[in-house]
Amino acid sequence: MTNYLKTLGYGFAIALFALLAYTAYTRFAGTASNAGVVGGPFTLIDQNGRTVTDKDFKGRWLIVYFGYTHCPDACPTALNNIGATLDQLGAKRSRVTPIFITIDPARDTAATLKSYVASFGPEFVGLTGSDAAITAAEQAYHVYAAKHPTTDGGYDMDHSSVLYVMDPDGRFVTNFADETDPATLAERLKSLIP
Amino acid sequence: MNYLTLSRRLALIGLCLLPTAGWAADAVQVSDAWTRATPGQATSSAVYLTIVSAQADAVVAATTPIAAASLHLHQMLNGIGQMRAVERVAITAATPFHFAPMGYHIMVTGLKAPLKPGDHFPLTLNFEKAGPVTVAVTVRPLRESTPMTPMSGMDAMPGMSNMDMPK
Ligand SMILES: [Cu+2]
């Protein structure tokens, strides 16, 4: 009898673990069909209010970063690093477009993004969109984002903070931690861009 | 005991107290307080600084007349960054403690005006033992604001003390 209960207990634990693992997997990886692939088609709105898709960026090297403008620490650090990286690219700078995709479309309108991204460099693109369009982009890039309520009644966002490098065909090449120093980033990009 | 002796005694006590008072005032040093210029219409910013305390102490609150202020910790957990309010930041005796990007910061929210490079504003840290200490926070340009960043937290290894921010 004790053994039977034990087996039942283990069985339940394994089933619970499997359920949790599956939930985590689908949350992070999106649908199974794009698991392992980073990036893909998107339709979003740029900082000038124009609808843009991934096809509009074909032919350009991209540095893609997901964040939100109410983020005072990680996001400016990452965007500063991207800006400083561009400064070190020399002639290859003109081949690169840095893209900031908001994970907080409720507060980050096109107008909000326009002055925000311009602060980090002239070639920065800021993208927002409907909740559904932003969620699709997050899933395509395997980005985790969730609201965390604050005591003042507002919220912060918990989010993956990663720089993605995409090639001119829109294919994922590599990614970097948000705090990678610009010299390292620039060296790597210079060796990647022919 | 006559009056003269008493006054002499008081003077002696006073002499003993003076250097003590001076030491108490220098017991906590807060330096290199800075923040970034706010990008776009951002109304929040993170303040960074370095604390050296002669005694073990803790920061329990921060205030500034220009905005709401709170103690925050930014952490990476499995690649996911999260920012959380903390009630208390413990400071080890005689060990520089850095509030620095991607670690501890003093979060200021609800700024009524943008922070521009070269601006200064007062910020008061409340220490559990040392009480309030007010510093001037310098607003640095957005794009030059993180030149060489020390690790947030205390200097774990002795060799790391040379990573202090230049004045
Ligand atoms: Cu914060």
Nearest to A83 among B68, B105, B143 (CB): B143
Task: Please tell me what DSSP assigns to residue B151.
Answer: P
Q: Which residues of chain B are within 8 Å of residue A141 when distances are taken between CB atoms?
A: none
**Ligand 1 centroid – CA B107 distance (Å):** 5
Residue B106: CB atoms within 10 Å: 25
Residue A184 pLDDT more than 90? Answer: yes
Same domain, A63 and A17: no
Same domain, A42 and A26: no
B18 — pLDDT class (breaks 50, 70, 90): very low
B111-167 pLDDT, tens digit each = 999 999 999 999 999 999 999 999 999 999 988 755 444 566 755 433 333 333 333
Task: Select from A66, A73, A108 the residue whose CB has the most chain B CBs within 10 Å, as the one to mutate to test that interface.
Answer: A73
C-alpha A36/C-alpha B91 separation (Å) is 44
Please give the helix or strand (H or E) that residue B9 lies within, else none: helix B3-25
Same domain, A98 and A6: no
C-alpha A178/C-alpha B68 separation (Å) is 27
Same domain, A170 and A128: yes
Q: What is the CATH number of the domain that holds A160?
A: 3.40.30.10
CA distance B94 to chain A (A): 27
Q: What confidence score (pLDDT) does residue A51 get?
A: 98
Task: Please tell me what DSSP assigns to residue A105.
Answer: T
Same domain, A120 and A46: yes
Strand segments, DSSP code E, in chain A are: 43-46, 51-53, 61-67, 96-102, 125-128, 145-149, 155-160, 162-166, 172-177
Complex ipTM, two decimals? Answer: 0.75
Same domain, A67 and A160: yes
Give me the domain span that covers residue A53. Answer: 38-192
CB contact (8 A) between residue B41 and residue A115: yes
Q: Which residues of chain A are within 8 Å of residue B37 when distances are taken between CB atoms?
A: 119
Domains of chain B in sequence order: 28-144 (2.60.40.1890)
Cα A97 to chain centroid distance, Å, stands at 15
Same domain, A1 and A75: no
Looking at the 3D structure of chain A, how many domains does it have? Answer: 2
Query: Nearest chain A Cα to B45, which residue?
Result: A72
Same domain, A109 and A19: no
Same domain, A88 and A47: yes
A35-71 pLDDT, tens digit each = 568 998 999 999 999 999 999 999 999 999 999 999 9
pTM for the full model? 0.77
Q: Look at residue B10 and give its three-state secondary structure.
A: helix
Same domain, A119 and A142: yes
A25 — pLDDT class (breaks 50, 70, 90): very low
**Is B83 near chain A, with CB under 8 Å?**
yes
Residue A13 pLDDT more than 60? Answer: no
Is there a contact between B130 and B28 (Cβ–Cβ < 8 Å)?
A: yes
C-alpha A128/C-alpha A182 separation (Å) is 26
CA distance B56 to chain A (A): 27
DSSP A33-89: GGTT------EEEETTS-EEEGGGGTTSEEEEEEE-TT--SHHHHHHHHHHHHHHT-
Same domain, A4 and A70: no
**Is B148 near chain A, with CB under 8 Å?**
no
Q: Which residues contact B152 (CB under 8 A, 6 or more apart)?
A: B98, B99, B100, B101, B102, B103, B104, B105
Same domain, A49 and A122: yes
CB contact (8 A) between residue A73 and residue B72: yes
